[in-house]
């Protein structure tokens, strides 16, 4: 039996898809997974990167698609790693980030959800302030074991309700409000 989807989430990261699917289920949007390595331009703009990826994804799957691009922006590092977060994680990981930091550990996560269907190219952002922990805590993926959201003492990796407050949730909520009324 074939399942129908409202749109696809294109990514090579199944963790991002699983989070997005759980969040969009709350809004009644059925999300399929289009696993694909997408062209990622080098840019200081998450929105520009996401827009290019969405167009690339649509050209491959020929269906309405969303992609998500996000970045961890650390104040004391002038916003680094920002749009280069994926590459930095692959090269130096959480330990490398922790080694770079001294006292000012303020940071924010930013998520951009971009939708494309040939008629519409729309982007939605979500931001969440927080801090970087001194040690990795919890079993999560990406930067989750080192990012502590504002008003919390736990990292994303330690939280049970991450999907209810994350930067990704905020961006997907904005997208859902638009998508369900477009």
Catalytic, out of 69, 70, 125, 144: 69
Which positions ≥6 away from 112 have C-beta within 8 Å? 46, 47, 49, 50, 68, 69, 70, 123, 124, 125, 171
Among the listed residues 100, 58, 50, the one whose alpha carbon sits nearest the alpha carbon of residue 79? 100
Q: How far is CA 145 from CA 109, 130, 141, 155, in A?
A: 13, 13, 7, 6
The answer to whether residue 37 is catalytic is no
- Cα–Cα dist 14/124, whole Å: 21
Structure tokens at 125: 């952002």
User: What are the residue numbers of the active site?
Assistant: 69
């Amino acid at each position: 039996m074939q399942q129908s989807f409202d749109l696809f989430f294109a990514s090579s990261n199944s963790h991002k898809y699983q989070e997005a699917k759980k969040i969009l289920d709350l809004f009644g949007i059925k999300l399929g997974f289009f696993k694909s390595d997408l062209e990622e331009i080098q840019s200081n703009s998450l929105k520009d990167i996401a827009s290019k990826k969405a167009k690339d994804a649509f050209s491959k799957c020929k269906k309405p698609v969303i992609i998500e691009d996000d970045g961890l922006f650390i104040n004391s590092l002038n916003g680094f790693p920002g749009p280069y977060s994926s590459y930095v994680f692959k090269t130096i990981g959480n330990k490398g980030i922790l080694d770079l930091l001294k006292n000012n550990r303020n940071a924010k996560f930013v998520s951009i959800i971009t939708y494309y269907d040939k008629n519409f190219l729309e982007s939605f952002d979500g931001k969440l302030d927080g801090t970087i922990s001194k040690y990795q805590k919890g079993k999560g993926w990406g930067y989750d074991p080192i990012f502590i959201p504002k008003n919390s003492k736990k990292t994303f990796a330690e939280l049970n309700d991450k999907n209810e407050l994350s930067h990704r949730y905020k961006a997907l909520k904005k997208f859902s409000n638009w998508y369900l009324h477009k």
